[in-house]
Amino acid sequence: MATAEEVAKAAERRDIRDRWLLSAPALLVIFLAATGPLLIVLVYSFLTPGSYGDVKWQFSPEAWIAVFLERDIFDDTLSVAAAHVTIFLRSIKLSVVTTIATLVLGFPTAYFMATRSEKTRDLWLFLITIPFWTNLLIRTFAVLQIIRNEGIVNTILLKLGIISSPIQILYTDTAILIGMAYVYLPLMVLPIYASMEKLDFRLVEAGYDLYATRFKVLRKIIFPLVKPGVIAGSILVFIPALGAYVTPSVLGGGKNMMLSNLIELQFGQGRNWPLGSALSIAVMIIVMVALLAYVRNAGKSGVRHG
């Protein structure tokens, strides 16, 4: 006869098995149409490009070499691939600046929202959620119409006599930056707001009682307490910004490429799928490093605030 303990153990095993069966469809779909293909990209990055796209099944490290280096066609010497390095650096720079810009704008916005009365808070949250869920392409297109030479920004500046001819913003790095900061701002505000909402303002009061200035309270009390939200927001902005495709395609006008445009090029006209694959993996690596830094930081602040 089975003891009570054995019966309980069997029930637990059955429960775990059922839970695996229940999650199987979701895991299977994600593996087939998201995670699994990433492994194929890794394999492709070590193959030889085919003449009309795709690959020849022949090992070659060339794609990885070509990520940062260029092989001279005549004497086979390697030199730094200036174009690729420029695009890597531009993508990282634009993503970092976008993250900082959204933080500088988003932090006070989240603070403003969190310090409203309970009732109006919902309304502000709703107002920030709407742009968050509206189509990114449409929002990028809206920015395009504002900043182009005949757009509202230039028209107003011309009418006011501040400038005599339109400023060329569109199809520059600045345009990409404005566009990315615009579309990713809600991604920064929402997690900071979530942390800020839980902020205990008695701590702020205690700070003032001890003669702290407003700035000191902000720096020493508020900021450390909402730091997890700030880090989460920064990650949520940095990752999509680094891989941004729509914004540089629409506002950069094809000349000011970012990493995603360079990758797309390899699968289109470039017909170098291994290089495109290697570049994709490189983007993934940068993202992974950022995520790891986030996990470590989040772990640390989690311990500190108990």
Partner 1 sequence: MANRFSIKHQPGFTAIAATCFIVLYLPIVVLVIYAFNAATSTSEWGGFSLKWFQSAWQNTQVIDATLRSFQIGATAAVFSTIFATMAALATTRTASYPGLTFKYAAINQPLMVPEIVTGVALLIFFSRIKIFTGYSGLGYLIAAHTAFCIPFAYLPIRARLENMDLTLERAAADLYATPWRTFRRITLPLLWPGILAGLMLAFVISLDDVVITEFVKSGGQDTLPTYMLGQIRRGITPEINAISTVFLLLSVAIVTLFFFISRKHD
- Answer for the pair 111, 218: CB distance below 8 angstroms, yes or no: no
Among 34, 160, 210, 303, binds partner 1 (CB under 8 A): 34
User: Could you say whether residue 299 binds partner 1 (CB under 8 A)?
Assistant: no
- Contact between 227 and 199 under an 8 Å Cβ cutoff? The reply is no
Enumerate residues 56-115 that contact partner 1 by CB under 8 A: 105-106, 108-109, 111-113, 115
Question: Shortest distance, CB of residue 174 to partner 1, whole angstroms?
Answer: 15
* 49: nearest Cα among 67, 68, 62: 62
Given candidates 129, 156, 289, 292, which one binds partner 1 under the rule CB under 8 A?
A: 129
Tell which positions 235-264 bind partner 1, by CB under 8 A: 239-240, 242-243, 245-246, 249-250, 259-260, 263-264
Token reading at 190 = 């929402």
Told to check if 227 binds partner 1 by CB under 8 A, we report: no
What residues from 178 to 197 belong to the interface with partner 1 (CB under 8 A)?
182, 185-186, 189
**Alpha helix (H) ranges present in the chain?**
4-30, 36-44, 62-68, 82-114, 118-133, 136-147, 152-159, 173-197, 201-209, 214-217, 223-242, 246-251, 259-267, 273-304
**Of these, 204, 265, 297, 301, which contacts partner 1 (CB under 8 A)?**
204
Number of residues that bind partner 1 (CB under 8 A): 88
Residue 164's DSSP bridge partners are none
Length of the chain: 306
Is the CB of residue 42 less than 8 Å from the CB of residue 273? no
Q: Near partner 1 by CB under 8 A, which window of 28-36, 61-69, 82-90, 168-176?
A: 28-36
Q: State the Cα–Cα distance between residues 164 and 297, nearest whole angstrom.
A: 49
Contacting partner 1 within 130-169 (CB under 8 A): 130-131, 133-139, 141-146, 150-152
Minimum CB distance to partner 1 smaller for 68 or for 111: 111
- Closest to 90 measured CA to CA, from 258, 246, 292: 258
For partner 1, give the closer residue by CB, 63 or 189: 189
Whole-number Cα distances in Å, 294 to 34, 99, 236, 300, 305: 23, 14, 10, 10, 16
Q: Which is nearer to partner 1, 96 or 146 (CB)?
A: 146
Q: Taking CB under 8 A as the rule, does residue 218 contact partner 1?
A: yes
Of 59, 126, 162, 210, the one binding partner 1 (CB under 8 A) is 126
Decide whether 80 or 302 has the Cβ nearer to partner 1: 302
Select 75 or 150, whichever has its Cβ closest to partner 1.
Answer: 150
Nearest CA to 234 out of 272, 273, 291, 274 is that of 291
